[in-house]
Amino acid sequence: MAAIVPWNSPLLLTAFKAATALAAGCTIVVKPASVTPTSSLEFAKLVQEAGFPDGVFNVVTGSGERVGTALVQHPGVDKVAFIGSNAAGIEVARNAAEHLARVSLELGGKSPNIIFADADLAAAVNGAVAGIFAATGQTCLAGSRILVERSVHDNFVEGLATARTIKLGDPMLSDTEMGPVAFPEHFANILGYIAVAKSEGAAVAAGGGRPKDMEGGLFVEPTILINVRNDSRIAQEKVLAPWSASSRSTPRTKLCASRTM
């Protein structure tokens, strides 16, 4: 089995894939993301110390384009488990199909929270803030879109905007509530999406840039964007082809987006 795991939860997802493969009596090769290989390599040392035979649990590092592709195309790989973007998932499925390897794909998305007027708004705000800003917003199930019934939209956004009080800092300190983003390219991507959202008509209810007192690190303010349309880039997962504007917000809802910060 080949497991290709992303950078946002590398050790946890490596353990998930390894546990199921080993329980089924399979050997496994893990390819961690090129920006976060260390935890998987350290995990491999622990597997060896635990007495597993050589070759049962393996880690290869490198880029997805070269190492990941070679791994998926290898005829000795009977099953591929991939977590990552839609575009990369399409390539994985295509390469695996060349030798009929089975594939499990967990791909990107823009999962919404849906808030109706009869909801407990305080609880909904707490859940939304925890969902999107935990782990600096770098989780695939963050709930980064929020659809809110019009009659409670303004009150909900007012509560959600309290995210501006989240304490940024060193994630190793106990009083830090949100740390920096993982690597420079991701940092630039986030700021780029905020700029695109503004250019497409979104308004900033909280955050929207780098904190002025932390410009030396990869910190982005917890950011809430409102007046976001369903066809806005900020509201969509990246896809290979332009999105077809076949669905819009229903008349009873408004869309706001809490970005991955």
Token pair belonging to 237? 């997962």
CA atoms of 138 and 162, how far apart (whole Å): 20
CA atoms of 104 and 202, how far apart (whole Å): 36
Q: Which of 210, 176, 171, 204 is nearest to 190 (CA)?
A: 210
Question: Could you tell me how many residues make up the chain?
Answer: 261
Quote the DSSP letter at residue 166.
Answer: P
**Residues whose CB falls within 8 Å of the CB of residue 242, separated by 6 or more in sequence, listed in order:** none
- Reply yes or no on whether 106 is catalytic: yes
Q: Which of 261, 162, 134, 252 is nearest to 210 (CA)?
A: 261
- Reply yes or no on whether 91 is catalytic: no
Q: Which of 147, 178, 174, 148 is nearest to 165 (CA)?
A: 178
Helical H runs in the chain? 10-23, 38-49, 69-73, 86-97, 121-133, 150-160, 184-199
Which candidate in 106, 149, 177, 200 is catalytic?
Answer: 106
Q: What is the CA radius of gyration of the chain?
A: 21
> Which bin fits 179, alpha (ψ -120 to 50), beta or left (φ > 0)?
beta
Q: Which of 231, 221, 210, 229 is nearest to 259 (CA)?
A: 221
Q: Which residues are catalytic?
A: 106, 140
